[in-house]
Amino acid sequence: IYQSAIYAYGNQLIRDPVDADRFVDLQHLQKLEASGAFAEQKVAIAPLKTAGGPVEVDPLLSKDIRFLFAPNSSDLDLNNQENLKNLEAIKRLLTVSPGSTILLRGHVDNSLVEEFRKKGGEPFVRQMSLKAVEFSKARAGEIRRLLIERHQVDTARLDIAGRGWDEPAGTDPEQNRRVEAQWFTLE
């Protein structure tokens, strides 16, 4: 748990972490292991799911992992080393905490909203907003697909949501064409 916390919070919050061995007294666990009493048991921590699908609440721990996309594209650029590092980072998060889940939240940029408003008024903006939500969900789905295919992540541990253009990261359209990963851990 200590190592998970260090990894999750990062070196900005915990600058010089103390070695975990300083806190651990393994003598009781070593005696149990030597006795063989639990040799046949396996770790079986699984995420608890509700029937309602992904619930967007505040994640217990959150790391800022973002995938950026080209305009009008839901295909992730696999030649971009940052995207590859981010896929690996999500795999590591799930490995660190076997029962954790990831919510992938897709976004699109809002740079054309005013143009839509001029073109067709509020009804057209609402229509395009629905398409933006579906498109942003497709971006999140692309990240999920890559995690499953390239990193063998269990589908049950990945949820997706499309947020459209409702949550811009700033005024830069490039930063708004993104998928964010939120990490939820069991505690």
Rounded average pLDDT over 64-73: 82
Mean pLDDT of the chain: 81
The single-letter DSSP state of residue 101 is E
Backbone angles phi, psi at 2, to 5 degrees: -60, -45
Two tokens at 22? 């300083």
Nearest residue to 64 via CA among 178, 160, 180: 180
Per-residue model confidence as pLDDT tens digits over 14-68: 666 666 666 777 788 888 889 988 888 776 655 555 555 554 455 555 566 888 8
Query: Domains of the chain (ranges plus CATH)?
Result: 1-41 (no CATH), 60-187 (3.30.1330.60)
Looking at per-residue confidence, does 83 or 30 come out higher?
A: 83
Rounded to 5°, the CA angle 86-21-13 comes to 45
pTM of this structure: 0.68
Pairing of strands 158-162, 101-106: parallel
Virtual torsion, Cα 132, 138, 139, 145, nearest 10 deg? 170
First to last CA, the chain: 10
Rounded average pLDDT over 70-97: 90
Name residues whose C-beta falls within 8 Å of residue 103's C-beta, 6 or more positions apart in sequence: 54, 56, 59, 159, 160, 161, 181, 182, 184
Task: Tell me the C-alpha distance between 54 and 27, whole Å.
Answer: 41
Per-residue model confidence as pLDDT tens digits over 8-24: 666 666 666 666 666 77
- Band (pLDDT 50/70/90 cuts) for residue 145 is very high
